[in-house]
Structure 1
């Protein structure tokens, strides 16, 4: 939500602008200040996006306020108002980017136009494509990271060719999702043997990726990504032509890659001080086999002879089923953790059912995998029970004792029951905390009805950000926070007006209104009567 602050030492102008902008329903979070010092105090506590300010005020004037705004919130838009046609002030104001200048005599239409223009500028500046245009020099690295994330997504399961085609086009991947792909993994090492930080390993991997592109583009289409272990993974397809038959393309490509990777290794050693071993699948795989082949290559990579520096080895696609099952179990277990962390019950239960189906779908002996899977999920659930301190509410007697359950089906049903209990307790806890927070806000409003009840101050009471408090209050109470404050003020006003010994001005002062006419305007807007008329109606 965009926050707009009105600053003017003349209360009637401040109140008038506040009412006009409030009635326009521009989706603004509105605030008022009656001096530059008061405005600055607010901006020390929260972000302000637009300031509508008098340029000449006692104490801190508008130009001094502008200097402070720039140091706090440099993207804040400023609209200056003045009744003085003072050239020096105008000249200084218009020299600053993001600042508009209006005479008060120009009327509300011009002011509204200036405010809506500032809103448009703010909204445009937040659009993603503008941010990307400002960071164009980093696009290649960002694209590489995005493609790496997508590669990890591909390893989680099968994808339809149509979906792959759309994704490839969107991410700038120059591979054909209808053709098989060769897979290679490179494990990078520094020649001096020094330990690398995460940032350094990412930087080196990117450098090798960019270097390799110049060697691979002559005969192949390739995608180089960085996997979760910091290793480089290449997905490669031969380019059509070059005098090769379709059946000969992939074997020739493997030979080409073996030679090119040797050159890449040497170039990396000479120019970057890096050595790395390459493990290349000797046969192309379909996209739905990618995760199994990737695991097969990784397992073979760790069985290399010697230190592997400058080694290029090839592996075949035999015996990949065990690797495929192991990866599927591991990836889905990680998905369970993500759903549990995010409180997504339905997603968690769907993945759990998929795991059960995966392990019970044939008659072969899979007890080792089932045992690994059971304890993986049990440890995950136990971790969250410990973190949320739910030992007294969730029974865990049989959680880490698989042999207490009569069958595998009973074991996984038990895990499902534990998970459902966790989600239910979490949901109840969130609802209770929300109700407690809103109850605290309502009590605070009633106890401080004559004080500043801005969204920023109320948010500070429960240490939430203002926008979230506004949304949470509406969600819990069914009314806007500002409307609720008006209701409480009105009830308090009616209660005080019953006391004849209090003057109308005194009643308004107790409710936070500094002037008689401000209170009168508020009361009549909500009741249709002035405070005096209401008091007289009580007497009758």
Structure 2
């Protein structure tokens, strides 16, 4: 979806543009409007703007002055100027400021629609797949990859790291971050890889994801990245003119566009978790652990989600003991991740391979056998306890074998037990996902009914329920079988008919009750959907 802002000091023009573009549902626009440049700037402070349509001459601040502020806030914003004047000076200034187009009033609807469609086309082609993959190939050829990998692994997993050792890495690798300032951490997860992708394909696409993220963010901050299994991890610092709190908000506003670009050019669903805006360098280890749990447990049930940690969130304290040889521990961590993310097929394939390797090691130490048994048992028990489903599962399967190694005749028997239990957990997770989606859409319905007289736009509802607009739109349509806009329309019509049936009902009061602050718009809305104006309906039904 693209956010478009309409600015003109003539309300009739703004409303005409707003109504015309609202009807163009196929363009997938979130539309904002303002009657002055100052009011438009206030909207831009709190919302990403992709397309700006503005008058040139306005009292207080002209459109030409406004564009300077726009480029500082949203550098990728495309600007279309409207003017009743064809003066060469205005046209020359607009072109110098890289305006997308300069349209003379009065403007036909067809011209506006065609221009907006061209703008959207240019936005979509800004990041071409060819350029992305070219950069990816160059990055794969770069040296120092192993040192970079080693540095990040220490940051993420070593809770005994010191500032001095971090400084050594930063200096050696020329990492463009300042140890005297805190960072924001962001994790991106590829929710689902195509089955035929090889390791090299995945590595290339993870680099491509990073290139897309950096394309959006590099102008406003310092950023370094690292790939870890299904994750891409970024450490981000603000530029000289920004604080981290504002930077976190700015990144959050862009994440939906980043997701759309990744989906369009790479055909991959990606979820993001964004940390609170004040992570110290020695906190990175703990922050990564907590964010990993979020991305596994909080968004493991679906694709394309964005989670943002608020500044007052508390980090849990972790202590890690190196219990197993690194290769075995890596396999156990992978199994945990696959269970949490609901990847059933890969989980069964991985656990089968894991037990095959263990059974080949005939002389494996007994205490190490117990350790492996304990880790697998804890993994399964932790999953059940976190979701409070232990008793429900115990009705279907005896859980005592999770605490008694001797109850299993051999590793094959234990593998079979783990696989059967995992199947039950995957089935539960699928049911839970459906329940969660239904709960969200039911809450959206309840909110709309209660707030029909207030703002019920997609953007407002998405912010209210802490979801991205595109995800909420897809989720609602999939669960309810009707678009969110259609549902709101039907609810408003039903309420309007109810209010108009009351004796003495006044049209302007009914309009206000339904969030229409202009009676003529309410009249058009009602007549378009009911075939008669509200006055006639009131006369027929009062």
Same fold (TM over 0.5): yes
Return the alpha-carbon distance in structure 2 between the equivalents of residues 52 and 495 of structure 1.
38
Deviation at 1:132, TM superposition (A): 5.9
| Aligned: 1:4 with 2:4 | yes
Gaps of 5+ in 1: 152-193, 205-225, 229-325
Return the alpha-carbon distance in structure 1 between the equivalents of residues 99 and 380 of structure 2.
53
Query: Are 2:477 and 2:483, in contact at CA under 8 Å, matched by a contact in 1?
Result: yes
**Per-residue CA distance 1:65-112 (angstroms, 9 max, x = gap):** 323322221101111212244555444333212442111224223222
Equivalent position to 1:537, from 531, 536, 540: 540
| Aligned: 1:343 with 2:342 | yes
Alignment of 1:403-422 (within 5 A): 403-422=406-425
Distance 1:71 1:19, change over 3 A: same
* Map of 1:13 onto structure 2: 13
Return the alpha-carbon distance in structure 2 between the equivalents of residues 371 and 143 of structure 1.
43
| Aligned: 1:78 with 2:79 | yes
| Aligned: 1:508 with 2:511 | yes
Distance 1:350 1:433, change over 3 A: same
Query: Are 2:14 and 2:35, in contact at CA under 8 Å, matched by a contact in 1?
Result: no
Distance 1:514 1:338, change over 3 A: same
Query: Are 2:144 and 2:173, in contact at CA under 8 Å, matched by a contact in 1?
Result: no
Q: Comparing both chains, which one has the higher relative contact order based on Cα–Cα distances under 8 Å and sequence gaps of 6 or more? A: 2
Task: Provide the secondary structure at the position in 2 that maps to 1:80.
Answer: strand
Deviation at 1:490, TM superposition (A): 1.0
Distance 1:65 1:195, change over 3 A: closer
Deviates more, 1:50-59 or 1:524-533: 50-59
Deviation at 1:34, TM superposition (A): 3.1
Deviation at 1:342, TM superposition (A): 1.8
Return the alpha-carbon distance in structure 2 between the equivalents of residues 517 and 60 of structure 1.
30
Query: Are 2:53 and 2:79, in contact at CA under 8 Å, matched by a contact in 1?
Result: yes
Deviates more, 1:19-28 or 1:452-461: 19-28
Deviation at 1:508, TM superposition (A): 1.8
Return the alpha-carbon distance in structure 1 between the equivalents of residues 169 and 403 of structure 2.
38
Task: Provide the secondary structure at the position in 1 that maps to 2:46.
Answer: coil
Alignment of 1:419-430 (within 5 A): 419-430=422-433
Query: Are 2:30 and 2:459, in contact at CA under 8 Å, matched by a contact in 1?
Result: no
Return the alpha-carbon distance in structure 2 between the equivalents of residues 87 and 488 of structure 1.
50
| Aligned: 1:477 with 2:480 | yes
Query: Are 1:374 and 1:412, in contact at CA under 8 Å, matched by a contact in 2?
Result: no
Return the alpha-carbon distance in structure 2 between the equivalents of residues 406 and 93 of structure 1.
80
* Map of 1:497 onto structure 2: 500
- TM-score, structure 2 normalization: 0.59
* Map of 2:530 onto structure 1: 527
**Per-residue CA distance 1:142-192 (angstroms, 9 max, x = gap):** 4458998xx9xxxxxxxxxxxxxxxxxxxxxxxxxxxxxxxxxxxxxxxxx
Return the alpha-carbon distance in structure 2 between the equivalents of residues 488 and 146 of structure 1.
60
**Per-residue CA distance 1:466-500 (angstroms, 9 max, x = gap):** 22222222222221111111111111111111124
Distance 1:132 1:72, change over 3 A: farther
CA RMSD of aligned residues (A): 3.8
Deviation at 1:379, TM superposition (A): 3.5
**Per-residue CA distance 1:243-284 (angstroms, 9 max, x = gap):** xxxxxxxxxxxxxxxxxxxxxxxxxxxxxxxxxxxxxxxxxx
Task: Provide the secondary structure at the position in 2 that maps to 1:52.
Answer: strand
* Map of 1:184 onto structure 2: none
* Map of 1:94 onto structure 2: 95
Query: Are 2:100 and 2:119, in contact at CA under 8 Å, matched by a contact in 1?
Result: no
- TM-score, structure 1 normalization: 0.60
| Aligned: 1:435 with 2:405 | no
Distance 1:9 1:455, change over 3 A: farther
